Each structure stands twice: as C-alpha cells, then as structure tokens.
C-alpha cells in the first residue's frame, strides 16, 4: 500500500445542512452506525424505540463519533426491500429524538430516496448517505442543493455490469455520479465519496481495493469507508459478523494511512483507538 501525498491529509471543509460543517483531513473522523431496522446483518432489531436510539447515540458520541448515521432499510445482500413510508416511519422519529437529546450532534440519513432525504433533513439531519451513488434516484442531488446537505456518494456494483479492473470500475462509476451532482449544482465541498466496500464485491476485490486505495485520491474528494463487520473481514479472520470489530479496526488503521477521511463503524471505541495510532504515525511521517 503506497503512502499518499500530504494533500490527502490537508484540511478540507465538508459543508452540511443547517449551516453546519465538518473539517476533514488532519485527523480521521468516525461515523457511528445506528440501524433502526429489524434485519441488518450484524445488529438488526437492536434499536426499536427512540430512547434506545438515543442511548446508543449518546454512547457513540462519548466514544468519539463525529457523525451518527441513521438508516431504516437494510443493505445486506438478499435483504427484503421496504417502501418509503416504512423507511420514514423508522428513521424520522429516530432523527427527531437524537436531535432533541443531542442538539450538537451531526446526523446522517442512510437513504437513496429523495423524498426520505428531504424529510430527514427537515427533521434535523445534516448529511445524505446514498448507497446507490445518485444513480437510483438522481433527485437526491437536487435535495442536497436545495437544503445544503452534505452528500456521501457511494459506489456499488449491484444491478450493473462491472469493469474487470477494480479501480477502473470505481472511476467509471464516480464519473457518472459526479456528473449527476454537477448537473444539479451540488458544490464540491458538499461531497464525500465512498468506494462501497462489500457492495457486490468479493473478498479479493475488497482487498485489492484496499491495496490500491491511494488511486482514488485522483478524484479529488475526501473519502469515506464502510468496512465495518463486512464479510471480507470474516473471510480473512474466520469470525462471524458480530465478532469482526478487531478486524474492522485493522482496516480502519490501514485505510487511514492510505488517506481515508471518514470511517463508518459499529464499534466506535475500538476504531477511535485504531485511528489515534494511525493519526500519530501520519503526523510523525509528515514531520520527517
């Protein structure tokens, strides 16, 4: 894994809804996962009531989460789809409850639906995390423009023919997604990219993506990664989903050294420590 240029760690502002922003670059930022779903692959059904979500959110902030990502539809392979009304019935009360309990928290809504994104931002969310990279519902980009929301554009290999080269496929996918964002008028400082670890990628592809991660910096945007408890970690460690947090922390440290800026995780505390070590090494290396 090549060590990226200092530019990958330079300070860059991520502009968010409700006049908020987050500075990325010099230190890694953690995004805690709050799944208000019955069927997510490692934590489904754990957060049912708003008070449960608030308690988990409070703990994540105390452990060092800069962002809380609330999702109402499982994205695991084979999950049953839900309609917009069901998704909103799950995420909107959770967002409202967390906003009331933790008014300084930065909230992300994990959705690809424009209508859910808009309602979530109206309820207090600051970021839209789109796992279809604007290519399922391009109007998500328009919502970002009209609300000023931060926008995470994720790569996926689902329901499309992938290119054989893992980086070539990333670049081609993001070319399409960024064209959608540009046409809608999304500002560059609203955008973060996510290479979509685990989304229609086998273990070899995921590890190749890690090994060649520095190539993604050519796109010129901060990069968010979501490796937490993914199957490829289990392929390497032999552990079930609920026991993959140590493996996740290893990927967090490696990808931070490779220049990733934001890390979407289930266990904030262990990944906080992994980032602390990686950031200390980065600082030492930059001082050489």
Measured CA to CA, the distance from residue 286 to residue 113 in angstroms comes to 41
pLDDT per residue as tens, the chain (288 positions)? 555 666 899 999 999 999 999 999 999 999 999 999 875 444 444 556 788 899 999 999 999 999 999 999 987 676 678 899 999 999 999 999 999 999 999 999 999 999 999 999 999 999 999 999 999 999 999 999 999 999 999 999 999 999 999 999 999 999 999 999 999 999 999 999 999 999 999 999 999 999 999 999 999 999 999 999 999 999 999 999 999 999 999 999 999 999 999 999 999 999 999 999 999 999 999 875
Q: Does 113 qualify as catalytic in the annotation? A: no
Measured CA to CA, the distance from residue 178 to residue 144 in angstroms comes to 13
Residue 279 lies in a domain: yes
CA atoms within 13 A on the CB side of 215: 13
What total number of domains does the chain contain?
1
113, 230, 244, 256: the active-site residue: 230
Which pTM was predicted?
0.93
Domain extent for 106: 6-286
Residue 82 lies in a domain: yes
39 class by beta-carbon count within 10 Å (0-12 exposed, 13-18 middle, 19+ buried): middle
| Sheet with 150-154: strands ordered across | 191-194, 150-154, 127-130, 106-110, 67-71, 29-35, 262-265, 224-225
Number of residues that make up the chain = 288
Structure tokens at 244: 């993959």
Residue 1 lies in a domain: no
Residue 104 lies in a domain: yes
Residue 221 lies in a domain: yes
Residue 195 lies in a domain: yes
Measured CA to CA, the distance from residue 234 to residue 203 in angstroms comes to 9
The CATH number for 220's domain is 3.20.20.20
């Amino acid at each position: 894994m090549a060590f990226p240029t200092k530019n990958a760690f330079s300070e860059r502002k991520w502009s968010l809804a409700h006049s908020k922003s987050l500075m990325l670059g010099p230190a890694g930022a953690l995004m805690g996962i709050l799944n208000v779903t019955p069927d997510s692959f490692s934590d489904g059904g754990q957060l049912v009531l708003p008070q449960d979500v608030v308690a988990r959110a409070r703990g994540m902030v105390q452990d060092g989460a800069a962002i809380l990502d609330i999702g109402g539809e499982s994205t695991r392979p084979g999950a049953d789809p839900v309609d917009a009304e069901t998704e909103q019935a799950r995420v909107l009360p959770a967002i409202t409850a967390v906003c009331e309990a933790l008014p300084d928290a930065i909230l992300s809504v994990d959705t690809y639906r424009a209508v859910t994104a808009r309602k979530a931002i109206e309820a207090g969310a600051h970021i839209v995390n789109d796992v279809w990279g604007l290519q399922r519902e391009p109007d998500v980009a328009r919502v970002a423009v009209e609300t000023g929301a931060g926008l995470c554009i994720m790569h996926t290999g689902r329901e499309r023919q992938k290119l054989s080269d893992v980086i070539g496929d990333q670049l081609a996918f993001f070319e399409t997604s960024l064209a959608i964002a540009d046409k809608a008028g999304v500002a560059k400082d609203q955008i973060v990219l996510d290479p979509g670890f685990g989304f229609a990628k086998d273990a070899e592809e995921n590890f190749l993506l890690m090994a060649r991660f520095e190539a993604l910096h050519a796109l010129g945007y901060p990069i968010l990664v979501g490796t937490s408890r993914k199957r490829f970690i289990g392929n390497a460690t032999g552990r079930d989903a609920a026991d993959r947090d140590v493996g996740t922390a290893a990927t967090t440290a490696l990808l931070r050294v490779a220049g990733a800026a934001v890390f979407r995780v289930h266990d904030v505390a262990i990944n906080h420590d992994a980032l602390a070590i990686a950031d200390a090494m980065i600082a030492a290396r930059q001082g050489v």
